[in-house]
Structures are given as structure tokens and as C-alpha cells.
Structure 1
Amino acid sequence: MIDTEGRKPYSKLRYYEVGKNVSNLKKISDFKWLDKKQIHDVPLYPQRTVVQFNSTYMELIGRQDRIRGDVTVWGLFFFGLVTYALYGMGVLFLIIFANSAALGSIIILFVIILLGILTHVLPLLSTELFTYTYLPIRFNRKTRKVYVRQANRRVEVFDWDELRFYMATTYKDGGDVRGITLADDGVTITGMFSLPFVSDLTAKEILGGTQLKQHFEFVRRYMEGDDKQLAEVKNAIRYIHPVHIKRETPLASFQRATLTALDSDENMEYPKEALRLNWTHLAIIIQLWLRYLGRLLSINTSITPKFSPEIEAECQIDPNDPYDLNKNLPEGNIEDTNQPIWKKLTHSILLILFGIVMLFVFAFFIDMIGAIKGYDTGLAYKLLHLFHLV
């Protein structure tokens, strides 16, 4: 069952493991099967991934949400750097070959190089710009189906009872838990999706992926548990991220960019612990600022995803559902739509001031690099003049 609504990407992204033999998974670092019928006696960790929650379905954000904006920043930076370099070389060649018959061929060569770079950068940028604000994963307890909007923007529907789960260190940014389906031969992987939370299984997870198990058990218990366990899952949620209604706010973007930059091991449902700062975090402040800018650009050029009417018909909610956390927000929910106007205004002003300060930090950083290379860019002075500080 495929839903192809939405903007189509340049990149046809898919999981590399799909279509391969399941035995290849065991070659992945820290690989371990997870039994969805076994109760794991660990605390439940939603990790700020819940978009919607009720007794019919639970919707989570996608895996890539945690690093949303990174591709945007580095993709645009790389493209800008290469374009600037090509421009400088083009000016130089125009001077050298101004009266040469080869000038036309050189210009064509530069255009071909630029187009070649675009064909590689655009597919990457299309995964974050002019796409969806998030890639939902919806677990339906009643139909026992899982609806996943993949990175290629198609919706895949999985049968929960046919899924097998494992955790492993799959990428440089850490490990995750993945669900897979197999063909009738029992060995060929036909489908795959990742749970949202990502954590390091080696350096940090001394107990062998404890946090990943906590996140998996949160999902497993929702789908497999009885009413008592459903209440346990509900009570574990402190934060609802309602991006199914509208784009996340700049404050929410900043908090999520900060959590990713800090790479905290704390329970992210309690950001006062996970967002605990100290002076050593000054080392990542430029990285945080760039990631935040990339996230803002990515989120605000994208549209809110919608499932097809057929899927929504399978996900009807009881209007009086006591488990509907979108109507009855958890106690202590920090979503800033519930905050008073003065607090929202204060946060907005602080974010603007932070942006201005980071502009100067970035300018001084560029000036320092220029000074090392023997020339003065004067970027910081220009900013001071722009803000009438000199």
C-alpha cells in the first residue's frame, strides 16, 4: 500500500539493507535481535519523539529529525564554497584567455563542472529543503499496522506482527533500533524502518544499548501491552511535539538543535537535565548556531505531511478517549504554545540576540582565519558599522 502524495525528491533514498540477505545484518557493529514479545524491565524513554498519542495510535517523528538542518547547512556551504572558487578561477581565466579562441570552451567546461556539482548537492538538499517538516511513524494498536513515511517521501505500511526488530551501530552518529520484514523465503529483507531515537551503543551505552532498549520498550509496550501497560506508556510521556498541526516554533527548533549538539544521555523528556550547560559547551557554540540556522531554513521551506484518507479512516480516535494526550496535555508539558505571551516574546528576543552575537563570533572567526593567511577581511568591522556600533 503506497501513498505518493507530496513533493517528489530528486533523491531516491532507501535503506541499503533492503533486498539483501538478513544474515548480512549480523556483520553490523553491536548487532543484537530484540524480541517484541519479551518484556524488558527498564524505564520507558519516549525521548521527545511523540507527536500524537491516544489509545488508537501513537505517532512519532522520524529518525533524521534529530540532525535536521545539518545537510542544509553543509550542503549550501559546500555549494557556495565551490561556486566562489569557480568564480575566482573564471575571472582569472577570463584575464588570461581574454583574446583566445579557447575562451568559449573554457566557459562551457566551467558550466559543466557547476552542473555536475549541482546534480550531487541537490539530491542531498532535497531531503531537507522543500520537503516535509517531519517524517511520521504511526503505530496503530487496533489495526496492528505501522505507517511510515520514508525518506523518499513514500508511505510504507507494515504489519506489526510480521516485524522483527534489532539494534545496532549503523552509522557514525550512533546506533538505533530497526524493524524489518522478510520475504516468503525467510531470508530476504523486503522492508525496513528506524525508530526515532539514536544513541551510541559502545562509548556511552556501557550496559549494551540500555537507552535504545528503553526506547524500544516504550514502543513495544504500547503495541503489545494491556490497558495497564498502556497507562504506563502514557505516564512516561511528558512532552508532546504537535508538528502534525503546524511547523515547530523557533524556540522548539533551538531546543532540539541544542539537544543534538550536546549529545546528552539524559532522559530528554526532562530538558532541564538534558539541557544542562557548562563552560565546556562554548566549544560547540558555532556548530550549534549553524545547525540551528539550517534547521530553521529546512523546517520553514517544508510542508506538514498528511496521510492518505484511507489511512486516516483506519486511525479514527474516540472523541472521549482518556488517553488522548493531544487534548489532555501531560502535566509539565513544555511545548511553548501553552506559555504566556510575555514568555514567548522573551524567548524570541533572546533568540534574536543570540543570533546577532553569533554573527559577530562568526565574523571574528573569519577575520582570524584571514589574518593567519595574511589579509584582512574586515568582516567584524563591517558588522559593527552595520549595527551602528562604530
Structure 2
Amino acid sequence: MNFIGLGPYKWKYKTDRALTDEEKRNYLEKRKKTSEDVCDDLSVIRINGTYLELVDRWYADKGHAVVYGTFGAAPALAIALMSINAIPDVNGVAATSLIAIAILVMAVFFFAFLYLIHFEAFRKAHYPIRLNRKTRMVYAFKPNGSVIRASWDNLFICKDSHYVPLMGRRFYDIRAHILDEDGLTIRETFTLGYPYFGDEERLPPLWEYIRCYMEDNNGVKKNYETTKLCMPVGERREGLYFGIVRGFGIAAFSPFIAQPLMSPIWAVITWGRLIAMYTSRVPRWPEEIEAECQIDENDPYCKDWRDNDKFTFIEGPWPVIWFVIGSAIAITAIYLTVTSMANAM
């Protein structure tokens, strides 16, 4: 998972700086059509004639930080506890010092991995972005819980990317900058749109979907017809059923090979996703923003998760079956690994 913008330090968006030459080259013009294809890329929460609401860049991969953090924190805690228990049986200052150092190192690792878990757990269930077509305003939740307000017309929007060494690739997104009065200094930044898995080739159709809604006369109707599946969040958390479907969605291209073979891995990731969702709070837009985003009573273009078609057997129940099987395999493997390590010690 690409954590850019979610955490501190190198994962935080850099602000209070000048636009780079690359950002200027990758500028996305709001009134210029950029792609013949239009795709929401499973990022829509709801759409209507007043506003379009999208999920954040971390929503699709939610659960990874919880899993990575848990698998890092658990052994660090176990080693630290075993080291503490070994202190009474150790003689000599040197040996005791080495154990103390080991405990300290493991404690540092433990709290570092706990913080990684906190990237997703005990925060917001998601960080929505709302684009108001009528008032030309954009609202976006930040990871710290505050809300960004900006004029659509004044936003500097560009294609951006971030290289993740552990994965050996770049992840692309549609980045929105709020500039100072000089038109060059970035004061605030957020991701406006994120193509699935950060693929560069999927970015133009997603940008065209967003741009079309805000700029084209028939943008609302076109996007309404394009959107086939709305994410079941907003005033609620993502449910267990959809969480499993979304967690196994990365292998949906091969339901009879990839999903069964990868089921233990994706079951674990899905459990991490569920933990992240159900330990976090549902975001609530401030009352003044809701007041600015009133939907017309007879709006013919209202669509949210309630309008989704039911999943077919392969789309829904099939991943649930492999989630159960994969969970059983993963639990058994973890249990055997832990018991074998305990016996070895």
C-alpha cells in the first residue's frame, strides 16, 4: 500500500513550497477533454445534480497497514516479554545489559508497528471528497479529521506520483493544490482522485469522469449513467459482506484460480480491512457544508449504494466462501507457526 499523505514525515504531503517544474508539466486543464474513456474506477460514494462524493486514495487498500503492523508488533512484543522473563536466570552485568538492550529495541519496534496500525485503525473509516457542481466548491477530509474547503476554479490540479521502494513501482494520483495569492506557493494539498492500485493508464479516464461532472453541460447525466456501483459508505461504515467482496476484488479477474490460490492472503488482508473499518469513526460533514449541498427534491440523478444491483454468485457469495476457507487456512498456518516457534524455544 502507498501511504503517501496518510502518515507523518516522508508520507506526508509537502506544503509551503513552490510548484515544481514536473507539477507544471503535468497540469490537468479543467476545460479540456483528456480521454475518450470515462471511468469512476470504483471511487464514487454518491452522485446527484448538486454534488459528487468520492472515496479517498487509501480506501481501496484499507487493511494493509493493520495487517503489516500486527505481524510486526506481535513478534516484537513476544520477544520483549520472553527477554523480560529471562532476566532472573541471567548472571553478569554484560548479559543483563544485552537483554535490556534487546528489550528496548523490541519495544521501539513494537510501538512503531502499533503506529503503523493506527494509520488505518481508530481514525476515520474513510476520508471523503465532495465536489459541489452548483457552488463550484470542493471539500475534502484530511487524515487529522479537519476539512479542506477550496474553490474548484482556483485549484491547481495535476498528475502526480510517488515511488514505493518496497513495491518497486510508482503510484499515480490526481493531486489538487491550494495555492497562495502568488499562484506558485502550495499551502494545502490533497488527492482528488486515485485510480485503482495507482495505475497510470487508468488516471486519464478517472480525471475525465471528475472533470466532466464539474465542467460539461451533460456531465451529471453522463456520470450518472456511467456509475454502476457506489461504495456503501458515507453515513455508514462499509459492511462485512461488501468488505469481503472488496477485499477479494483484486483477484476478481480470476475467480476460479487466483481467488482460491490467494484466499489465505486476501482473507488476512480482509480481516485487517474489517478491523480498520469497525474501530474507526464514520466521518460527518459539518452542518454548514451539508447546508451548502442541499439536493433538489426531484433530482433525477440521485444515486448511492442503495441503488446498486445485487451481486451475482461469482461476484458476492463466491468470495465469501473463499474468505471462510482462506481464514481457516491462515489461522491454522499461524497457529502451527507460533506453536512450533514456542516449542523450539
TM-score by length of 2: 0.82
Equivalent of 1:193 in 172, 190, 194: 190
For 1:230, the aligned partner's letter is V
Aligned equivalent of 2:80: 86
Residues 157-166 or 170-179, more deviating: 170-179
Equivalent pair of 1:52/1:242 in contact (CA under 8 Å): no
SS of residue paired to 2:212: helix
Equivalent pair of 1:174/1:198 in contact (CA under 8 Å): no
**Counterparts of 1:51 and 1:75 in 2: how far apart (Å)?**
28
Aligned equivalent of 1:138: 130
Aligned equivalent of 2:3: none
**Counterparts of 2:297 and 2:110 in 1: how far apart (Å)?**
49
Equivalent pair of 1:79/1:121 in contact (CA under 8 Å): yes
**Cα offset, 1:369, TM superposition:** 9.8
Aligned equivalent of 1:334: 309
Q: How large is the Cα RMSD of the aligned pairs?
A: 3.6
For 1:134, the aligned partner's letter is H
SS of residue paired to 1:34: coil
Change (3 A) 1:328 1:105: closer
**Cα offset, 1:361, TM superposition:** 4.6
SS of residue paired to 1:64: coil
Equivalent of 1:310 in 282, 285, 288: 288
Mapping of 1:339-378 within 5 angstroms?
A: 347=317, 351=320, 354-364=323-333, 367=336
Residue 222 (structure 1) aligned with residue 213 (structure 2): yes
Aligned equivalent of 1:213: 204
Change (3 A) 1:104 1:361: closer
Change (3 A) 1:14 1:152: farther
**Counterparts of 1:101 and 1:146 in 2: how far apart (Å)?**
62
For 1:40, the aligned partner's letter is T
Aligned equivalent of 1:170: 162
Equivalent of 2:42 in 45, 48, 59: 48
Change (3 A) 1:26 1:41: closer
Cα deviation code 1:134-161 (max 9, x no counterpart): 1110000111111100122211111100
Change (3 A) 1:246 1:275: farther
- Report the structure number with the largest CA radius of gyration: 1
Mapping of 1:1-390 within 5 angstroms?
A: 15-23=12-20, 25-26=22-23, 32-97=26-91, 113=105, 116-117=108-109, 119-172=111-164, 174-199=171-196, 209-226=200-217, 228-259=218-249, 261-262=250-251, 275-280=253-258, 282-326=260-304, 329=307, 333-334=308-309, 347=317, 351=320, 354-364=323-333, 367=336
Aligned equivalent of 1:5: none
**Cα offset, 1:196, TM superposition:** 3.9
Structure 1 residue runs of 5 or longer lacking an equivalent are 1-8, 263-273, 378-390
The percent of aligned pairs where both chains have the same amino acid is 25
Cα deviation code 1:347-367 (max 9, x no counterpart): 49x737733553335524774
**Counterparts of 2:94 and 2:19 in 1: how far apart (Å)?**
55
Equivalent pair of 2:130/2:138 in contact (CA under 8 Å): yes
Cα deviation code 1:283-322 (max 9, x no counterpart): 5333211110100111111121101111111111112111
Change (3 A) 1:285 1:129: same
**Counterparts of 1:57 and 1:352 in 2: how far apart (Å)?**
37
**Cα offset, 1:253, TM superposition:** 0.7
**Counterparts of 1:92 and 1:65 in 2: how far apart (Å)?**
43
SS of residue paired to 1:65: coil
Change (3 A) 1:220 1:10: closer
Change (3 A) 1:296 1:190: same
Equivalent pair of 1:178/1:193 in contact (CA under 8 Å): yes
Aligned equivalent of 1:380: none
Change (3 A) 1:14 1:145: farther
Structure 2 residue runs of 5 or longer lacking an equivalent are 1-5, 165-169
SS of residue paired to 2:59: helix
TM-score by length of 1: 0.73
**Counterparts of 1:240 and 1:87 in 2: how far apart (Å)?**
46
Change (3 A) 1:145 1:118: farther
Change (3 A) 1:102 1:327: closer
